Amino acid sequence: MSSIKIECVLPENCRCGESPVWEAATNSLLFVDIPARKVGRWDSLSKRVQYVTVDAPVSSVAIRKSGGYVATIGTKFCALNWDNHSTAILATVDTDKKNNRFNDGKVDPAGRYFAGTMAEETAPAVLERHQGALYSLFPNHHVEKYFDQVDISNGLDWSLDHKIFYYIDSLSYSVDAFDYDLQTGKIANRRSVYKLEKEEQIPDGMCIDVEGKLWVACYNGGRVIRLDPETGKRLQTVKLPVENTTSCCFGGKDYSEMFVTTAQDGLTSECVMKQPEAGGIFKV
Ligand SMILES: O=C(O)[C@H](O)[C@@H](O)[C@H](O)[C@H](O)CO
Ligand SMILES: [Zn+2]
């Protein structure tokens, strides 16, 4: 294995950086800072970053086929117009749960925006349990609810043949799989494919690579791990110089680079001194 280079490409000190998404058309990385209520777009060529501030915690962002973006803001699926900074509500979930917000989200290969919810945290991973649910927004704006009783709805992705949906509820310390029907968007047959080891801490965001292996960012664990969902074995650990690694995606030229978002919230000022890049965005 060739040696791995890790570099902080955006020393932003995000409170909770999340949802990295590569936008090939602009050579940019999209991301959010959830509590700061900001969506960022970092141009990898000019190295400049632009922000759009929204009116509630923004937990995920995705590219919209018809132009602009979609984002999960508070408990709403929204369209986001980058040019005039406006948002338009497409659907609202968890209307009976005033303390809930969306967390991680991603679009399936048929254009359904999957995202789950959680109760707002009082500190990282400290929250009222079982308040969240998993939803998807169909291209026709129909909302499907899959299940509830979720603690912290987090990383998600699909297998390369689109027949499996991978999902993380952080406080289960497990990476789960479901059978996936791309035609209907239905999921079935939940099972665990990997249980985190103690030092790996809390599973957060996730993505899949071209070999069908999963990469999971470990919150508080300062690492991303590569898993084989078929054997349930960990194949690789990549450690980062900050503790709160939140999510990862592939991007850059030929998608040969991995971007990792991180968080600063929850670190004591002493920890921040030891990890000055906490909250930055890293390139692996
Ligand atoms: O990044 C996220 O997905 C959450 O919004 C965070 O708050 C952390 O995951 C959580 O604190 C650790 O479990
Ligand atoms: Zn997350």
Dist. CA 172 → ligand 2 center (Å)? 14
User: What global pTM score does this model have?
Assistant: 0.97
For residue 248, what are the CA distances in angstroms to 5, 95, 207, 259? 15, 30, 6, 5
| Residue 2 pLDDT level (bands cut at 50, 70, 90) | low
Euclidean distance between CA atoms 272 and 162, whole angstroms: 40
Locus of tokens 């921040």: 272
| Tokens standing for residue 223 | 């690492």
| Residue 253 CB coordination number (10 Å) | 9
**DSSP code of 82?**
T
Report pLDDT digits (tens) over 193-238.
Answer: 999 999 999 999 999 999 999 999 999 999 999 999 999 999 999 9
Contact present, 72 and 60 (Cβ < 8 Å): yes
Give me the long-range contacts of 175-184 (CB less than 8 A, separation at least 24).
175/203, 175/206, 175/214, 175/216, 175/227, 175/229, 177/229, 180/108, 182/108, 182/109, 182/110, 183/110
Give this complex's ipTM: 0.95
Nearest CA to ligand 1 atom 12: 125
Give me the long-range contacts of 175-179 (CB less than 8 A, separation at least 24).
175/203, 175/206, 175/214, 175/216, 175/227, 175/229, 177/229
Residues 6+ apart with CB under 8 A from 63: 21, 23, 30, 69, 70, 107
Dist. CA 147 → ligand 1 center (Å)? 20
**DSSP code of 170?**
G
Per DSSP, the three-state class of 128 is coil
Residues with CB under 6 A from ligand 1: 16, 18, 34, 103-104, 121, 124-125, 152, 154, 170, 202, 204, 219, 246
Euclidean distance between CA atoms 67 and 81, whole angstroms: 8
Report pLDDT digits (tens) over 19-78.
Answer: 999 999 999 999 999 999 999 999 999 999 999 999 999 999 999 999 999 999 999 999
